[in-house]
Structure 1
Amino acid sequence: MRFSIIPFLLLAIPLAEIATFVAVGSQIGVFPTLALVLITAVTGSILLRVQGFGVVRRIQETMNTGGVPGRDLVHGVMILVAGLLLLTPGFITDTLGFLLFIPALREAGWQFLRKRVVVVGGMPGAANPHHEAYRRDTGPQTIDLSEDDYKDTGNEDSPWRDPDRQ
């Protein structure tokens, strides 16, 4: 019964978000509340783009040197979740999303997960086709045939055969 909390969260989070909308809306008004939701969505998409590209670049650098980018992959997933939370309308999810964009909190999450998750690396250069493990000498890449070496006979019974061609 480990996942029995998920149905509860699927019901509790939207109810809590609605209650928060009502509370904030009654304090600052409807239009400022909607503007605040839009601002957090735009801010979240900008942060997702900036920090996401940085993580992707670090993952590529680590893989090009033959390393396993476990830490950066976890940070990337956390940034993706943070962006999704910020794009979801609601103040509770926005708060959680902004917290996941803080590098120190992501690092604490990585330290927590690192003790519980095993990242297994593949062969060197498995994700990089330009890595030396993929290189092999196959000889010349061009095969030069003379007319004596090759003749196109075609299929005599083909319905698409050109009758004028002999």
Structure 2
Amino acid sequence: MWLLLPFVILPIVEIALFIQVGGAIGVLPTIALVVLSTLGGTAVMRRQGALAMLDVQRAMQEFRDPAAPMAHGALIMIAGLLLIVPGLFTSALGLLLLIPAVRELVMRWMGRRIGVSGTGYGYRAPGRDSDFAGDYPAGFRRGSSRDGVIDGEYSVQDDPPAPVREGLTDGRTQGGTGGKSGWTRH
């Protein structure tokens, strides 16, 4: 029910504003405002969207948290979308979102309402059916400090004999075709 409320109230508000503004400045200037708003919203989305992506990339290159540039970019894109939607109220909201101080207020308000519930990583053990079931390889248990050391094993293998190495095959037939593919070792 609450989700349908904006879709009922918004058109009523927009129609009332069209009537009020149209009566004050005339029909053609009101239509011109809506058309200019749409063109401005398109320009904002095109230009500011690209700049927002550059800000995110710059933040990541400088090893800073990209959350703030991403949030600003998203709010700028929403502002452009609100400017494109025909209506005076939505255009006013879009223009407000283009002001950096207003975006900061919106981000702070949203930050108080959104919380991180938890983070972690998972490991799927070979042959297990469940992911992230608390199965961690030895040395990677939560809370352990390994200083970035990864244990591994290796073995040294000698080169194959010269005829095999040069021809990549020992001359046996493959799959009954009688030919040498040159791609496999036997």
TM-score (norm 1): 0.66
Offset of residue 154 of structure 1: 9.1
Deviations 1:62-84 (A, max 9, x none): 22233331111211121111111
One-letter amino acid of the counterpart of residue 39, structure 1: L
- Structure with the higher fraction of residues in helix conformation: 1
Residue type matched to 2:167 in 1? D
Q: Which amino acid aligns with 1:80?
A: M
| 1:73 correspondence with 2:90 | no
SS in structure 2 opposite 1:115? helix
Task: Give unpaired runs (5+ residues) of structure 1.
Answer: 124-145, 157-166
Q: Which of 167, 170, 179 is the equivalent residue of 1:148? A: 167
Alpha-carbon distance in 1 for matches of 2:82, 2:71: 16
Unaligned runs of 5+ in 2: 122-164, 178-186
Question: RCO (CA 8 Å, sep 6+): is it higher in 1 or 2?
Answer: 1
Higher mean C-alpha displacement, 93-102 vs 109-118: 109-118
Residue 70 and residue 117 in structure 1: after superposition, are their counterparts in 2 closer, same or farther (change >3 A)? farther
Q: CA shift at 1:118, angstroms?
A: 4.2
Tell me the TM-score normalised to structure 2 length: 0.60
Residues 79 and 100 in structure 1, CA contact (< 8 A), matched pair in contact too? yes
Residue among 98, 103, 109 paired with 2:100:
103
CA distance in structure 1 between the aligned counterparts of 2:29 and 2:45, rounded to whole angstroms: 24
1:64 correspondence with 2:61: yes
User: CA 1:31–1:118 in structure 2 vs 1: closer, same or farther (change >3 Å)?
Assistant: same
1:99 Cα offset (Å): 0.1
**Partners of 1:52 and 1:76 within 8 A in 2:** yes
Deviation of 1:16 after TM superposition, in Å, equals: 1.1
The ranges of structure 1 where at least 4 consecutive aligned residues each deviate by more than 3 angstroms after the TM superposition are 118-123, 153-156
Q: Which moved more, 1:82-91 or 1:46-55?
A: 46-55
Residues 40-92 of structure 1: per-residue CA shift (max 9 Å, x gap): 11112222223222221111112223333111121112111111110000000
Contact 1:68 1:121 in 2 (8 A): no
| Greater radius of gyration (CA) | 2
Q: Look up the SS of the partner of 1:12 in the other structure.
A: helix
- Aligned match for 1:40, one of 28, 37, 41: 37
Measure how far apart 1:121 and its partner are: 8.7
Give a deviation string over 1:85-140, Cα, whole Å, max 9, x none.
100000000000000000111011122223333468999xxxxxxxxxxxxxxxxx
- Taking every aligned residue pair, what percent have the same amino acid on both sides? 36
> Closer, same or farther in 2 for the Cα pair 1:155/1:103, shift >3 Å?
farther
